[in-house]
């Protein structure tokens, strides 16, 4: 058993509390990882607010980390202690019908199919003050050590800088893949991205890489526009600067609406606005943001031919694609370092969330 620090969420709506926790050794088929770094994603905030489906408290959040294998359980063959790894919040078991389908990146062992609040044997490896603590999406990266099933871990190049590639565990891969894999943006096309957080800015990068000729970035926080332009946005617009709905503004800017639109916020009204912003016939809208309530739409929006899709982690088969994404990063095919705004010591994890709330 390892004793280390972890940020525990004891109940919804409360700040995280950095505690000493015990982390049990990995059982068969599991890997214990020494986490070096973790990112903060809006999805962690959804969890802290009690808005993440099927979550259980107390829990150790975090799902965008990178680290080094500390020890392996019986039967683990794909990695060894000392290997650099990224824990995967979307596993790839390799055996379910979705894993075997080359078109799909969704694994039936994921949280949406069966909750990942405990490891597959239905026990936790975490305890604190004599209480069992739940895992989050199995990966729980807000801990100095975590235990994850082998099929939810990707081994990466030993040359990878962990403090940079940790973003590939969620935000970067999601946004970049939403453009490249889910929408399959074509060269010369027009795109609109709603929300310019880590995820939306990564969509901008994906559209640029795919050769889009016009990339319209939409956010109510104009402080996000400089970074969006640096990453490839051609137009940046703030819905609050217009009297008419933003979908009408985008439709006028482009004639008939964009070829591809993306929602990376997680609000019902912006999901509908993004859908209405792509052209009524061949437009494709990708829903990236997470919303835990229902929305109603006018079905005519789809009747004329639009396609409305969602994405999980940008459509990557995470375990096999992660090493390739890291290699592309090392070959400088994209510069995801520009997404990093602040670096804080672990004890200041709540300050990290304050920066997220403040839109910084
Ligand atoms: P973030 O909070 O960093 O960014 C959200 C951005 O949206 C902010 O810049 C904010 O100013 C902007 N915004 C808020 N309301 C707006 C409005 N009405 N109009 C225009 N802009 C508005 O969040 P993030 O970490 O980039 O995550 C974005 C979303 O993606 C979240 O809902 C998150 O849960 C989701 N997500 C989904 C997946 C997936 O696999 N589908 C993966 C990661 C994150
Ligand atoms: Zn995330």
Helix (H, G, I), strand (E, B) or coil at 257: coil
pLDDT at residue 112 greater than cutoff 90: no
Give me the mean pLDDT over the 168-192 stretch.
98
Give me the mean pLDDT over the 102-124 stretch.
94
CA distance 277 to 261: 7
Residues 6+ apart with CB under 8 A from 175: 198, 199, 200, 201, 202, 203, 204, 205, 206, 264, 288, 314
* Nearest in space to 171 (alpha carbons), one of 212, 141, 147, 134: 141
77 alpha carbon – ligand 2 mean position (Å):
28
> Percent of the chain at pLDDT above 90?
97
131 alpha carbon – ligand 2 mean position (Å):
27
288 alpha carbon – ligand 1 mean position (Å):
8
CA-nearest residue for atom 30, ligand 1, is 289
* Nearest in space to 139 (alpha carbons), one of 127, 149, 154, 129: 149
pLDDT at 53: 86
- What are the helix and strand counts (H, E) for the chain? 11, 15
Domain around 70:
2-169+317-358
Q: Are residues 322 and 266 in the same domain?
A: no
Give the chain's mean pLDDT: 97
| Any ligand 1 atom below 6 A from CB of 270 | yes
Domain boundary among 275, 290, 312: 312
Q: Are residues 38 and 97 in the same domain?
A: yes
pLDDT at 293: 87
Q: Taking the model in full, what pTM does it have?
A: 0.96
* Nearest in space to 194 (alpha carbons), one of 281, 90, 268, 283: 268
30 alpha carbon – ligand 1 mean position (Å):
32
CATH code: domain of residue 288: 3.40.50.720
CATH code: domain of residue 132: 3.90.180.10
CA distance 297 to 290: 17
Domains held by the chain: number:
2
Six-digit token string for 326: 């890291």
CA distance 2 to 20: 10
Using the atom order of ligand 1, give the atom closest to the CA of residue 290.
32
Q: Are residues 223 and 279 in the same domain?
A: yes
| Any ligand 1 atom below 6 A from CB of 195 | yes
First to last CA, the chain: 38
Alpha helices in the chain (DSSP H): 42-48, 97-100, 162-165, 171-177, 198-209, 225-231, 246-254, 268-277, 300-303, 318-330, 349-357
CA-nearest residue for atom 1, ligand 1, is 197
pLDDT at 104: 94
Using the atom order of ligand 1, give the atom closest to the CA of residue 45.
34
Six-digit token string for 191: 């795109």
């Amino acid at each position: 058993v390892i004793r280390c620090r972890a940020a525990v969420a004891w109940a919804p709506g409360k700040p995280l509390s950095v505690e000493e926790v015990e982390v049990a050794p990995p059982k068969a088929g599991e890997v214990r990882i020494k986490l070096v770094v973790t990112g903060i994603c809006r999805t962690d905030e959804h969890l802290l607010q009690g808005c993440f489906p099927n979550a259980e408290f107390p829990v150790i959040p975090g799902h965008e980390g990178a680290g080094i294998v500390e020890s392996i359980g019986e039967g683990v063959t794909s990695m060894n202690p000392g290997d650099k790894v990224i824990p995967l919040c979307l596993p790839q078991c390799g055996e379910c019908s979705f894993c075997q389908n080359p078109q799909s990146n969704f694994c039936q062992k994921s949280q949406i199919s069966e909750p990942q609040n405990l490891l597959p044997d239905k026990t936790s490896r975490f305890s604190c003050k004599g209480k069992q603590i739940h895992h989050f999406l199995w990966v729980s990266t807000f801990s100095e050590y975590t235990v994850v099933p082998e099929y939810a871990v990707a081994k990466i190049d030993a040359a990878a800088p962990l403090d940079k590639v940790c973003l590939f565990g969620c935000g970067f891969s999601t946004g970049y893949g939403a453009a490249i894999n889910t929408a399959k943006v074509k060269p010369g096309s027009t795109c609109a991205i709603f929300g310019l957080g880590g995820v939306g800015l990564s969509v901008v990068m994906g559209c640029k890489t795919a050769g889009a000729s016009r990339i319209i970035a939409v956010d109510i926080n104009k402080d996000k526009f400089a970074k969006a332009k640096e990453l490839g946005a051609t137009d940046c617009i703030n819905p609050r600067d217009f009297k008419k709905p933003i979908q009408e503004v985008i439709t006028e800017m482009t004639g008939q609406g964009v070829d591809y639109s993306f929602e990376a916020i997680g609000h019902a009204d912006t999901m509908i606005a993004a859908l209405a912003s792509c052209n009524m016939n061949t437009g494709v809208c990708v829903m990236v943001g997470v919303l835990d309530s229902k929305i109603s739409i006018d079905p005519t929006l789809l009747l004329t031919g639009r396609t409305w899709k969602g994405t999980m982690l940008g459509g990557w088969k995470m375990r096999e694609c992660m090493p390739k994404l890291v290699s592309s990063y090392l070959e400088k095919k994209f510069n995801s370092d520009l997404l990093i705004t602040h670096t804080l010591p672990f004890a200041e994890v709540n300050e990290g969330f304050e920066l997220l709330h403040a839109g910084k």
